Every structure is written in C-alpha cells, then in structure tokens.
Amino acid sequence: MMQLLLILPVRLSVCFVMVGLMAASAQAQQETSAESLILSVEDEAARNLLSGQIGPWTIRDLNLPDEFVARIVGRSIRNTYRDRFHIVVRDDATIRAVGEDDNPVNRNATHESFEINRPTHWPVTLHETEGETAELKRLRRYREGIPSNRGFTCWPEPGPGPGSGSVQAAREQEVDIVNMSPAHRLACDGVGRRLARDGILWTTLQVIRELGDDWPEAEGAGEKLLAQLGVPVDMFRHFEPRSSRRHRRVGVIADMAGVVADESLTRESLADRFQFRWVPAHEKFVAMSESGDQDVGMARLQLTRSLYWAGRGSGDGLDVARQVVDSLPHVKFLLAVQRQHGPGVLEMLRTWAVDVGRSFELIETSHPLAQWAQDNGRGGTLDGASWATIVPRYASRREAGATFAPIESAVMERWGTLGHRVLRSSLLFQGGNLLCVQDPKSKSRILLLGEAGIYRNVALGLSPEQVRAAFAREFSVDRVMVLPAVSYHVDFDVSVRIRDGKLVALVNDPVLASRWIVAVCVGVLERAGVLDESNAARAKKAIAEGNDRNIVAIIGAAVRQKMVPTGGYPLTLAKHFSANPTDSGVGNLQRLLTAIDILAANMISSDTVGGDRMTRAYVRSIRRQLADMGELHDQLKAAGFEVVPVPSLSAGTRSVHYLNGVHTKDMYLVPVHGGLFESLDNVATESIRKALGGGVRIMPILSSESQRRDGAVHCSVCLYPKLSQTTKRKTGSK
C-alpha cells in the first residue's frame, strides 16, 4: 500500500477519524455496503471520532457540541484527502512516497567533537541534567494519551486543601475501575458518562446517592473516594456553599452529603446552593498582552534539533529561533533542548547575536521536545514585578479530548526547579488557542479563546459560563470571546494589534491567497512543460481577470495530466517548484494543489462535483471552513474590531500564512515563506504594513518548514513583558 508523504510531528491527531474515512472511501468504490447508502462520509467520520476510547469510555462521553465535532471532522476530511491524493512519489515506479529522509541534510551528523569557543562575555547559562527531582522523574513515567481519570492533574494540587489521599488519586492517569468493588465500579462509570453532561455538582450528588451505605462518613474520606472514582475534586475549591463557612472543598462535599435524601433537588436548585468563584493559580498573575502594547523582556523557546533542516533559511524550528533571537535585542531567552542536541545548540549560539544585551539560559531534557513552546505555558508577570508562566493542569495535544504530553509538562517543571515562577492552573488549555489583547477604547483586557478551550474544561464538570469566568480570572482579563475552531488554534485565524486607538484584527483571505499561489506557479508549470505557451497565456489572462472557473479548468486539468498511474505526482515535477536548496519543491507543489481545490470549491456546489463520495465530502468541508471563517470575521466586527483580510492560507501542513506571528511594541514578527512564494510574502507583508501603520516595523521570519509542521512563529515562542513596565491587575469577569 502506498505510504503517505511527510509523516511529520504535527499537533493535530486524527487517528480515530482517518480509520473511518479510509473505510468510507473503500465502501464508496465497491458500493457493496448497505450502510454507505445511509451514512455520509461526515457521519461515518463523526461516528468513528466519537467512538474513540478513553479507558472504558469514549469521546462521545465528553458531550462535544455537534457544530464543534463537524469542524473537527471537516479538518480531518481535508487532511486525509490531501494525504491520499496530494502525494509526491518517486519516478522509478516503486510507489514509495517521498518523505522526510529525502531532505539532503546529513541525518547522522553529531556534535560530540565540538569545542565551544565562547566569546569573552559568554551570556549563556547551561543547566546540566544532574540532580533531577523526584517530581521530574515521575512526570517522565507517564504515557502519552487521553487520561481516563477525568480528575487527573500532573501537578501537586495548587493552593491549600485538606488531605493527601485525594491528591495522590488525582495524579493517577487512569482509573483502576477493573479492581473496584461492584458499587464503586458503577459509580465510577457514572462519573465518566455524566460529568461533561450534568456537571460536577450533580454528578457528585448522584455518586453519593448510588453509593448509599458505602459512602464514607469520616472527614476527608469522601473526597479521597471521589478522586479515586475520577471526580476532579480540585474543582470544589472554586465553589462555595452559601450555607457554610467551612473550607470550600470540604463544605461542598459535606453539603451534598447532607441533602442526598432530598428528592426534590434538581440540577438547577443544587447549583443555587453554591457560589462559583474561580480561585486563580496566583492572584497577581497578569498574562502578557499580545496586541503590541507591551515591550518584550523575556522569550521562551524549545529546540528540537541542533541542525537546520535543509540549511539556514529553511524556516525550521532552529531557524525560526535564530531569527527571533536576532530580532529581539536586550531580551533574556530561555531555551530547552534534548540532551543529545545540547552541545550543537551551544555551538550554534556562538554564531548568533549574543553580544547585544541578550542572555540565555539553556536546559537539557532526556526526551525529545515539541517545537511549540506556546502550548505548554503562557507568559506573564506577577503585577509587573517578576516573570511567571502559567501552565495547564497537564500539557496536551488534540482537539477532541486532551491527549497528555508528559514531556511538555516535565520541561516546565524543570524551569520551576531552577527558580522561574511556574503557576499551576486547574484549567486545561493549549496556549496557541488563546490570545490576550488590550482594548484601548474601554481600557479592558479581552481573551480570544478557541472553542476547544471551553469543551476541554466542560469535560471536567464545569458549565461553559463557568469556564469563561474561570479563564477571565486565571488570565486577568475582563471579558472572554469564544471563537469557532476554523483552524486548529485561533493563532492561525487572527492576529490583533492596537492602531490609532482601536483594535485591528488581521484575518485570513484564503481565496485571494490561493489566486496568488496559482499565479506564482504558472511560470513554473510553463518551464516544466506542463503548460504550453498558449495555455500559459490563457491562464495568466484568467488570473488577471479573477476568473476562478477558467483558472481551475486550465491549470487543474494540466496538473492532473501529470499524475502517475499508481497515483500521486512525480518527484521530477515537484523539483521544478523549488526556488533554492532550502525551498521544498514537494511542499510547494502540494500548496498549489490545495490552492486549486480551494478555488474550485469556492465557486461550485458539492452537489455538482463529480467523483466519489469522498471527493464530495472534501469539497463540502472546504466550503464549510470558508463559511465558518466568514462567521468568525463577523463576530470580530460585531465586537468592535477593524477586520483586515490578508492573502493568507491556513491549511494545516499546506499553509502559506502570515497571522501566526508575534507583536512587540514596535514590531510585528511575521511568518513568511520565502523561496518560490517570496512574491506572495511581499504582497501579504505590504497589506499588513498598511493595516498596522507606518510606526510598526514588519520583521519577516522565514518559517516554511515550520508551516509544513502545522505551526510558525507564534506557536514557537512564548513572550514575557519587560518588568520595568507597570502592569495593572484586572479583576476579571464573573
């Protein structure tokens, strides 16, 4: 079976959905399944997604809204279709798809023989791995996966609280339901099925009712048992019984135990017995604003290797880090890298700009790290006096469910042991899915939160309203705006900056970006002999006129003729799309194919598309994403943002996008592609320059290889404000 191209470490896991889509395509071709006549591809994909196992439960038990599931499914359909049909294969008919090893860089290079010639004033502190704490060792023993224990947290519990038994139970990744007594097993099963649907209070009351005489009466014993059954007992500290002055957590459990026999209670009347008031990880923590109103004092990055992927300028993680360092003088950098790459990174730092007021701290880890430093912790200060990083209850990946990434939490624990303030939140979040901005008109702080951030915490037993209030308190903002998951994270969909007393929101215009991508590639296709002189002239005319129908008809038909009999496109064709040794011809050809599909889907109905049901579902998913994007733009406009479309394409690993950047007080570090699409970079950055005003320097950061891994600049760097700047604490909304 043909191997898929580019099996890269991306942040979106679609394993549950892909199985369903593969089956759907096979059934469509054979037309032998009676079920395929009833279920659409989307229905089958959703069914397979929701049936994914979480211990004895499934993702369906997370009570995800249909609209959110549809967006995840649409993203999975697009990824799966492109991975099946937009592949590049070798020309020797071996059917093996081109993959990572075809990159010319020497994978066997090591840095063991390097002798580091340090400058006279070497501003780098290397923290060796000796003396690891027991906490670090424990974190590394966890496995990567969705915890079946819904109350799981990888940290010692934040804040004061009674008893250690519940803390220990909450740190178990899985519930031991098999070895429970029948009564406890039934109660535990109810927790997994009810928590997201009924909330933590009603679920807990039902557990106490079901246990009856098995409910322990000793103080603290009930809490310990609830933790063993998978109830997130740390959440009780955010509820205060209106009738009791006891410690919140003990008071909540005791109050419910006292009314267990009251059959007149409803979910609503039970909730009325308690006041929800989120207790933040630290009362003085203020998340850094990302709207260009704060200077940068510190930056945190994670390096996955000590070699450039295909050379300087390729835009991989190391190359992005180099450019960020070069762009930010007088800033302190926290760098983390796997131990085997440490010597090479030290040697690399010698060649970077280490003599312009910059300083570095470097830690080594025993396991590979992801490039995405934004996701495992968000930067800020404690009232402007000291830096702090707020981290989720455990670092995670994925949208449907939160897959625990132990090493990403372990690296933050390591920074904590070295004296950097690490604040442990009870919330689940991925840092790239939230943006904190300052509204200059109202002087209020706004958190733009991707909808997945709501549903991850609804799975812990909070209501959507309670989750919004919790984020407001935790990140010190006045208001939370929840945005639809058009892309995997909101930092692919919007970038915000203050200009002339108002908030400007840069947003994607994928149709315009697709036209530019096709326009750039016409010359390549002509030089490669795919388009003759006549058809090239017709294509250029169609592009000039904005005639998408003719663009697709001329270029799409010509490109399809180059498909090999076994499926996919030949590597000899892809090589024409490389403008220099660090520019990926394979990736650029795939971007062209994606752009053609977007233009085609934008002008036709899925009902008029030929081909099998998988192709029709693919077209529907593109049209749905474009519609969702329009709704997101309307939502921003209604909230008072000035929305500025940019020719930018967010398409997972096929992206050419310009929004995943970071703002400083005088700069926007914008991700650019370079190479073949340098002319599109120029058009996009010029439109951004006009939108943000002449006082903002646009600093291009080459990030093509990072974009091929479904990320870019904002994903890669976590920023902290200068400590000299006064940061006013906001109380947040209730």
Per-residue pLDDT, 247: 54
Q: Phi then psi for 52, rounded to 5 degrees?
A: -60, 135
Per-residue pLDDT, 354: 64
Inter-residue long-range contacts of 155-161, CB under 8 Å, 24+ positions, other chains counted = 155/391, 155/393, 155/394, 155/409, 155/424, 156/424, 157/234, 158/234, 158/281, 158/423, 158/424, 158/425, 158/426, 159/237, 159/279, 159/281, 161/234, 161/237, 161/247, 161/249
**DSSP-derived 3-state class of residue 503:** strand
When computed from its CA atoms, the radius of gyration of the chain, rounded to whole angstroms, is: 26
Q: Is the pLDDT of residue 158 over 60?
A: no
- Please, what is the average pLDDT of the chain? 87
Q: Is the pLDDT of residue 6 over 50?
A: no
Per-residue pLDDT, 167: 66
What is the C-alpha separation between 632 and 506, in angstroms, rounded? 12
Average pLDDT over residues 389-401: 96
| Sequence-distant (≥ 6) Cβ neighbours of residue 148 within 8 angstroms | 54, 55, 56, 57, 173, 174, 175, 177, 192, 230
Percentage of residues in the chain with pLDDT exceeding 90?
A: 74
Q: Is the pLDDT of residue 250 over 80?
A: no
More confident residue, 350 or 588: 588
Percentage of residues in the chain with pLDDT exceeding 70?
A: 85
| Sequence-distant (≥ 6) Cβ neighbours of residue 113 within 8 angstroms | none
Assign 734 a pLDDT band (cuts: 50, 70, 90): very low
Q: Name the residue among 154, 150, 142, 157 with its Cα closest to residue 228.
A: 150
Q: Residue length, the chain?
A: 734
Assign 243 a pLDDT band (cuts: 50, 70, 90): confident
Q: Are 219 and 250 in contact (CB under 8 A)?
A: yes
Average pLDDT over residues 202-216: 95
Q: Phi then psi for 251, rounded to 5 degrees?
A: -65, -40
Question: What single-letter DSSP state applies at residue 173?
Answer: S
Q: How far is CA 532 from CA 152, 539, 578, in A?
A: 61, 10, 20
Average pLDDT over residues 495-508: 97
Q: Is the pLDDT of residue 583 over 60?
A: yes
More confident residue, 353 or 666: 666
Per-residue pLDDT reduced to its tens digit, 74-87: 999 999 999 999 99
Per-residue pLDDT reduced to its tens digit, 100-124: 444 444 333 333 333 334 444 558 8
Per-residue pLDDT, 22: 35
Q: Is the pLDDT of residue 277 over 70?
A: yes
Q: Is the pLDDT of residue 355 over 90?
A: no
Q: How deeply is 360 buried, as exposed, middle or buried, from its count of CB atoms within 10 A (0-12, 13-18, 19+)?
A: buried
Q: What separation, in Å, do the N-terminal and C-terminal C-alpha atoms of the chain show?
A: 55
Per-residue pLDDT, 367: 86
Position 314: which residue type? S
> What region does 355 belong to: left with phi over 0, alpha with psi -120 to 50, or beta?
alpha
Q: Name the residue among 434, 158, 207, 407 with its Cα closest to residue 302.
A: 407
What is the C-alpha separation between 135 and 414, in angstroms, rounded? 9
Give the DSSP letter string of 217-245: -STTHHHHHHHHTT--GGGGGGEEETT--
Sheet holding 332-338, edge to edge: 124-127, 359-365, 332-338, 296-303, 717-721
> Which two tokens mark 360?
């570095």
Position 80: which residue type? T
CB atoms within 10 A of CB 172: 17
Q: Is the pLDDT of residue 31 over 80?
A: no
| Sequence-distant (≥ 6) Cβ neighbours of residue 714 within 8 angstroms | 374, 432, 491, 495, 660, 661, 662
Q: How deeply is 353 buried, as exposed, middle or buried, from its count of CB atoms within 10 A (0-12, 13-18, 19+)?
A: middle
Per-residue pLDDT reduced to its tens digit, 52-80: 999 999 999 999 999 999 999 999 999 99
- Of 110-114, 358-362, 500-504, where does the model show the most confidence? 500-504
Per-residue pLDDT, 540: 96
Q: How far is CA 178 from CA 174, 181, 203, in A?
A: 11, 8, 21
What is the C-alpha separation between 564 and 93, in angstroms, rounded? 9
What is the C-alpha separation between 496 and 569, in angstroms, rounded? 39
Position 52: which residue type? G
Per-residue pLDDT reduced to its tens digit, 628-684: 999 999 999 999 999 999 999 999 999 999 999 999 999 999 999 999 999 999 999
Assign 688 a pLDDT band (cuts: 50, 70, 90): very high
Pairing of strands 444-450, 697-702: unpaired
Assign 607 a pLDDT band (cuts: 50, 70, 90): low
Assign 91 a pLDDT band (cuts: 50, 70, 90): confident
Assign 27 a pLDDT band (cuts: 50, 70, 90): very low
What is the C-alpha separation between 284 and 449, in angstroms, rounded? 21
Per-residue pLDDT, 163: 42
> Which two tokens mark 696?
């903002």
Angle ∠(334,405,451) on CA atoms, nearest 5: 95
> Which two tokens mark 640?
């008072």
> Which two tokens mark 282?
């630290």
What is the C-alpha separation between 617 and 603, in angstroms, rounded? 15
Give the DSSP letter string of 341-377: GHHHHHHHHHHS--SSS-EEEEEEESS---S-TTTT-
Q: Phi then psi for 361, rounded to 5 degrees?
A: -120, 130
Residue keyed to tokens 């933050």: 412
Per-residue pLDDT reduced to its tens digit, 404-452: 999 999 999 999 999 999 999 999 999 999 999 999 999 999 999 999 9
Q: How far is CA 470 from CA 238, 379, 383, in A?
A: 9, 18, 19
Average pLDDT over residues 610-615: 82
Average pLDDT over residues 307-329: 94
Per-residue pLDDT, 160: 39
What are the residue ranges spanned by the domains of the chain?
A: 160-276, 512-603
Assign 132 a pLDDT band (cuts: 50, 70, 90): low
